[in-house]
Amino acid sequence: MLGLFFLQKRGALVGLKNTTSQYGSVAKWIHWITALCFLLAYITIHYSHRLEFRSPEYMTVIYLHASLGITVGVLFLPRLIWRLINPEPELDPAPKWQHRAAKSAHWALYFVLIAMPLTGWFGFGIPWFEYFGMFEIPSFLGTGIFETPLVTNLGLTFEEWEAPLDYFHKNIMGQKVLILLLLVHIGAALYHHFGAKDDTLRRMLPGGNPRC
Ligand code: HEM
């Protein structure tokens, strides 16, 4: 935080930070890396359904899915901090209800960005996974916390613990809420760009500058 403040004082953050009319490059990078990881997390998990359960190929694809999901979770914190210490580009003129809907959808997406990685990690039935084949990361099961009195006093088996987390991760969020939210988010961005022809999408595109 102090470092950021110092850099800001020296003007070193120009272009990196948001302005009232444009997202800076840090926000853009985090946004598009997150979007890519999300897309690949979907592709990998659906591809895993074609493979034999727990075969080496299946495990490789599941580890890939977990690595992509963890990356989204890890990026969440800098994303939130960056959002809180930066100005938000002003919304293009539109009816009030649309502004309110946009803000609500953004906060709902923030919830998803942390809820999906957390429920995936807490409910992962294997003690560890390889992060993009580079090093091992323990899942919640592998940290040993599940064996502590905190959880054992609840008298739960891991299967009982993971069942609601899996249901939330797969059935509620993965197959319904998340798809709906993403469709609204992407639909709104395309509507602004091609329908309303304003700068909403352009502001988040790499190198995209608002029309003057
Ligand atoms: C952005 C983060 C994530 C997204 C968008 C995501 C998405 C999904 C979706 C959509 C499904 C359900 C697919 C289906 O059966 O229809 C799923 C299943 C699953 N996810 Fe995630 N996930 C994320 C993070 C994680 C993380 C961090 C882990 C583990 C550390 C994880 C582990 C799993 C596992 C084990 C399954 C079940 C595989 C199966 O039995 O079919 N996910 N995920």
DSSP 128: E
Using the predicted structure, report yes or no on whether residue 48 has a pLDDT greater than 50.
yes
Burial (CB < 10 A; 0-12, 13-18, 19+), residue 130, is middle
State mean pLDDT over 138-152. Answer: 87
**How many Cα atoms sit within 13 Å of 147 on the Cβ side?**
5
**Banded model confidence at residue 98, pLDDT cuts 50, 70, 90:** confident
Q: Domains in the chain, start-ordered, CATH in brackets?
A: 19-90+97-204 (1.20.950)
Ligand 1: residues whose CB is within 6 Å? 38, 41-42, 45, 62, 65-66, 69-70, 72, 116-117, 120-121, 124, 139, 169-170, 174-175
Using the predicted structure, report yes or no on whether residue 68 has a pLDDT greater than 70.
yes
Using the predicted structure, report yes or no on whether residue 7 has a pLDDT greater than 60.
no
**CA distance to 5, 139, 167, per residue, from 164 (Å):** 43, 17, 5
More confident residue, 147 or 64: 64
Mean pLDDT score of the chain = 88
In the reported structure, the alpha carbon of residue 46 is separated from the centroid of ligand 1 by a whole-number distance in angstroms of 9
State mean pLDDT over 180-190. Answer: 92
Q: What is the pLDDT of residue 113?
A: 93
Q: What is the pLDDT of residue 212?
A: 44
List the residue whose alpha carbon is closest to atom 23 of ligand 1: 69
**C-alpha 167 chain-centroid distance:** 19
Using the predicted structure, report yes or no on whether residue 208 has a pLDDT greater than 70.
no
In the reported structure, the alpha carbon of residue 123 is separated from the centroid of ligand 1 by a whole-number distance in angstroms of 10
The fraction of the chain above a pLDDT of 70, given in percent, is 91
State mean pLDDT over 107-127. Answer: 95
In the reported structure, the alpha carbon of residue 180 is separated from the centroid of ligand 1 by a whole-number distance in angstroms of 17
Closest to 93 in 3D by CA, of 208, 192, 204, 26: 192
**Banded model confidence at residue 210, pLDDT cuts 50, 70, 90:** low
Mutate to test the pocket of ligand 1, among 55, 119, 169 (most ligand atoms within 8 A of CB): 169
Range scoring the smallest mean pLDDT among 12-26, 63-77, 153-167: 12-26
**Banded model confidence at residue 126, pLDDT cuts 50, 70, 90:** very high
Q: What is the pLDDT of residue 3?
A: 53
- Which atom of ligand 1 is nearest the CA belonging to 113? 1
- Which atom of ligand 1 is nearest the CA belonging to 49? 41
Among 40-44, 79-83, 84-88, 90-94, the range of highest mean pLDDT: 40-44
- Which residues sit opposite 137 in a β-bridge? 129
In the reported structure, the alpha carbon of residue 198 is separated from the centroid of ligand 1 by a whole-number distance in angstroms of 35
State mean pLDDT over 37-45. Answer: 96
Question: Alpha helices of the chain — where are they, by DSSP H?
Answer: 2-9, 25-48, 56-85, 96-122, 140-143, 149-152, 158-166, 178-190
In the reported structure, the alpha carbon of residue 106 is separated from the centroid of ligand 1 by a whole-number distance in angstroms of 21
- Which atom of ligand 1 is nearest the CA belonging to 53? 40
**Banded model confidence at residue 55, pLDDT cuts 50, 70, 90:** very high
Using the predicted structure, report yes or no on whether residue 140 has a pLDDT greater than 70.
yes
Closest to 129 in 3D by CA, of 73, 62, 76, 72: 62
